Amino acid sequence: MITTAPGPTDSLTDIAGLTVGHHHRLDDDAALGAGAATGCTVVLAPAGVVAGVDVRGGGPGTRETDLLDPSHSVQQVNAVLLTGGSAYGLAAADGVMRWLEEHGHGIAMGLPGQVVPIVPGAVIFDLPVGDWKIRPDADFGYLAAESASREYATGTVGAGVGARAGGIKGGVGTASVVITDGPAKGTTVSALIVANPVGSVFDPRTGLPWGVGSEGEASFGIGMPIPCELDAANAIGAKGTVLNTSIGVVATDAALTKAGCRRVAVAGHDGLARAIRPAHSPLDGDTIFALATGTHTPESAIDVPAAFPADLPILDAVCAAAAQVVERAIVKAILDATSVAGIPSYRDLFPSAFV
């Protein structure tokens, strides 16, 4: 078992070289279905990072995920798009590509400026929230990339604006840890998740988010809700749409291969399953990307049997940490979300938990 400590800012961008940008539209009349309530979030890695992906949900909407197969040729990506708008929202990736091309980032193809940026992406289904016909397009993606920074908002922003988590408001959450022992000591692992599942994100017996189980509610600054609030929250019932999906990115500064990144993405889904019940349903398109910058150097040489990959001990620790940060990022997405279009937030339902 590894030990970890919170990252410096408890954010995806505790990994040097990564930035995050949002762009969304949220109109006052979204609750009436006449205004927009959608957006996208971009994780930028302009210089290129090794990447992998794992898709566990039964109804995914994705772009460029085949390219991330470890047996395929391209080794790095320049950005990852997380977007609302269902399959329509994948158009936002065109804007991210345009921004990257304008700044000279991508696979060099010949003369200066001739590049092909690599931008995989995934979508959530948020079309019933607000105007069905307003969804992220190329301009959304461009503006999200343009706004990317190491500091960014969470909750009801970007791809999380129209997100719902079971019967309550979903959103964007982030978390990070630093591994404090073993061969991966000093390695940072972080996550950014858009929580929009069909499953529940809180325990109907206690009202506490499922994901506080491994750390305790005190670490998230909440307490036990009072019974009358719990009864009212349970009365909301299940989510009223059959299309959902939670998507996100796990990142590390360890040096991993594409195969290693794929394994980290697989492990990230364990954290998703801890914080959402049920997870990976036929009605979700759960997709997690994994990025490895390779900027952290192990403190000492690692002796690994020849039959195993040389990075196996580090990979094992990063995978364990990946589940932790995904779980925590989902809890934070729920706690940071604010009500949109009549969808109540966790804070609306359980105000006593924050006294």
**245 or 40, greater pLDDT:** 40
**Residue where the block lists tokens 């000492």:** 300
Query: pTM, whole model, 2 decimals?
Result: 0.94
Q: Say whether pLDDT at 259 is over 80.
A: yes
The pLDDT value given to residue 177: 97
Question: In sequence order, which ranges of 58-148 are alpha helices (DSSP H)?
Answer: 92-102, 138-146
Query: Which residues is 44 bridged to in the sheet?
Result: 19, 79
Domain count, the chain: 1
CATH code at 142?
Answer: 3.60.70.12
Query: What pLDDT digit, counting tens, does each position of 141-166 carry?
Result: 999 999 999 999 999 999 999 999 99
Averaged pLDDT of the chain: 92
CA pair distance 138, 149, nearest whole angstrom = 19
**297 or 1, greater pLDDT:** 297
User: DSSP characters for 129-190?
Assistant: SS-TT----HHHHHHHHHT-BSS---BSSGGGTT-EETTEE-EEEEEEEEE-SSTTTT-EEE
Query: What pLDDT digit, counting tens, does each position of 177-208 carry?
Result: 999 998 899 999 999 999 999 999 999 999 99
CA pair distance 249, 312, nearest whole angstrom = 21
The pLDDT value given to residue 307: 56
The pLDDT value given to residue 244: 80
Q: What is the pLDDT averaged over residues 58-77? A: 94
Give first-to-last CA distance, the chain, whole Å. Answer: 34
Q: Say whether pLDDT at 98 is over 60.
A: yes
Q: Which of 129-133, 245-249, 251-255, 331-335 has the lowest mean pLDDT?
A: 129-133
Q: Which residues contact 182 (CB under 8 A, 6 or more apart)?
A: 2, 313, 317
Q: How confident is the model at residue 213 (pLDDT cuts 50, 70, 90)?
A: confident
The pLDDT value given to residue 284: 85
The pLDDT value given to residue 243: 64
The boundaries of the domain holding residue 31 are: 4-354
Q: Say whether pLDDT at 104 is over 60.
A: yes
User: Quick one: tokens of 30?
Assistant: 């979204």
**241 or 353, greater pLDDT:** 353
Largest CA-CA distance found in the chain, in angstroms, rounded: 67
Q: Which residues contact 309 (CB under 8 A, 6 or more apart)?
A: 257, 259, 260, 315
User: DSSP characters for 222-250?
Assistant: --PPPHHHHHHHHTT-S-S-S----EEEE
CB distance 291 to 78 below 8 Å = no
